[in-house]
Amino acid sequence: MATTVFIQVLIIFFLMAIGFVLKKTKVLTEKGMKEITNILLIVVTPCVLINAYQREFNKADLIKLLWAVLFAFITILLSIIIATIVFKKEKSLKYRVSIFGSAYSNCGFMAIPLLSASMGEEGVFFGSAYLAIFTILYWTHGICLYSGTIKEVSIKKIITNPGIIGVTIALLLFLLQIKLPFVLKETVSYMASLNTPLAMVIMGGYLAQINLKSSLKNFSIYLVIFIRLILTPILAIIIAKLLKMDTTIARSILISTACPTASVTTLLASKYDLDAVYATEIVSVATILSVITIPLVIMLY
């Protein structure tokens, strides 16, 4: 399993390299990156989830999905608590970026492609639990953290988020056993297959926008990355073993947990006038190092 994940991480790394070159040669523009990101968020990710949930209903799968939700919630909450304890004492408002960067993984753009490639639709099925919890928490706790006030939290934004809409539609189709017509199912399947290449090319484009050499020398970000890539996944492994978690569920949530810092870390830092450069450095360095750490986490489990 670790070998399979390592191979998929390498493939993802090469896809990111293509995005890196395209951005450096100006074939991929800033406007183009934003437009492709919108396509990924609004269309492709929901299609990935709907495609994974087009399966026969059985009670065992539903129970496993609820266990996956619980496991995902525990791991994210634990990383939030640890990061808050470690960084809250800092005087600079940069601590808000550090907490968010430590707690929230790139479970949409990176975990879903990894799960799809290494575990198939079953991995995406259980991994969607992590995506749903991630979305709810970052639109509540995350927004409060960055803005410094609960007034910025919007229930409407949570409900209308493409990730939540995708999970809701997919879950309803699964529970009601509504099968999509062949033509529509194939269309959804084709759109879902775009997720890995498009998401990784965009990630490579973002990497091309910063000075990687300078970022790698910024040792202040390594504590964030340690919590994100090593400490939290190890704690998740311990929890999975203690709860005697089903192997498929454990692998799905562990891969999501082991992913690097969420790209939305930079977007929110920019929106709330915090250190967006620092946020970008965290995302970039964490993404590079995850090529090594994700397979190791699976191997350790």
Per-residue pLDDT tens over the stretch 228-278: 999 999 999 999 999 899 999 999 999 999 999 988 888 788 778 888 888
Confidence of residue 40 (pLDDT cuts 50, 70, 90): confident
For 115-154, write each residue's pLDDT tens digit: 887 888 888 889 888 988 888 888 889 888 988 888 777 7
Which pLDDT value is given to residue 271? 79
Which pLDDT value is given to residue 226? 95
C-alpha–C-alpha distance, residues 300 and 18, integer Å: 30
Residue 28, sorted as left (phi over 0), alpha (psi -120 to 50) or beta, turns out to be: beta
Give percent of the chain with pLDDT exceeding 90.
32
Which pLDDT value is given to residue 211? 76
Q: What are phi and psi of 275, to 5 degrees?
A: -80, 90
* Structure tokens, 96: 């808000």
> Across the chain, what does the average pLDDT equal?
87
221 touches 92 (CB < 8 A): no
Which pLDDT value is given to residue 112? 82
Rounded mean pLDDT of 157-171? Answer: 81
C-alpha–C-alpha distance, residues 172 and 166, integer Å: 10
Maximum C-alpha span of the chain: 57
Identify the burial level of 267 via C-beta atoms within 10 angstroms of its C-beta, where 0-12 means exposed, 13-18 middle and 19 or more buried.
middle
Whether residue 105 has pLDDT greater than 90: yes
Element (H, E) at 159: helix 155-159
Measured in whole angstroms, the distance separating CA 293 from the mean position of its chain's CA atoms is: 15
Which pLDDT value is given to residue 229? 95
Whether residue 161 has pLDDT greater than 80: no
Which pLDDT value is given to residue 75? 94
C-alpha–C-alpha distance, residues 151 and 66, integer Å: 30
Identify the burial level of 85 via C-beta atoms within 10 angstroms of its C-beta, where 0-12 means exposed, 13-18 middle and 19 or more buried.
exposed
* Structure tokens, 279: 């946020």
Q: In which residue are the tokens 């890539």 written?
A: 229
For 57-82, write each residue's pLDDT tens digit: 888 888 999 999 999 999 999 999 99
37-56 burial code (b ≥16 CB/10 A, e <16): beebbebbbbbbbbbbbbee
Identify the burial level of 150 via C-beta atoms within 10 angstroms of its C-beta, where 0-12 means exposed, 13-18 middle and 19 or more buried.
exposed
Whether residue 212 has pLDDT greater than 80: no
261 forms beta bridges with 105
For 166-203, write each residue's pLDDT tens digit: 888 888 988 888 899 999 999 998 998 888 888 888 87
Measured between alpha carbons, how far apart are the two ends of the chain, in Å? 10
Q: In 10 A of CB 229, how many CB atoms?
A: 28
Which pLDDT value is given to residue 238? 95
Whether residue 158 has pLDDT greater than 90: no
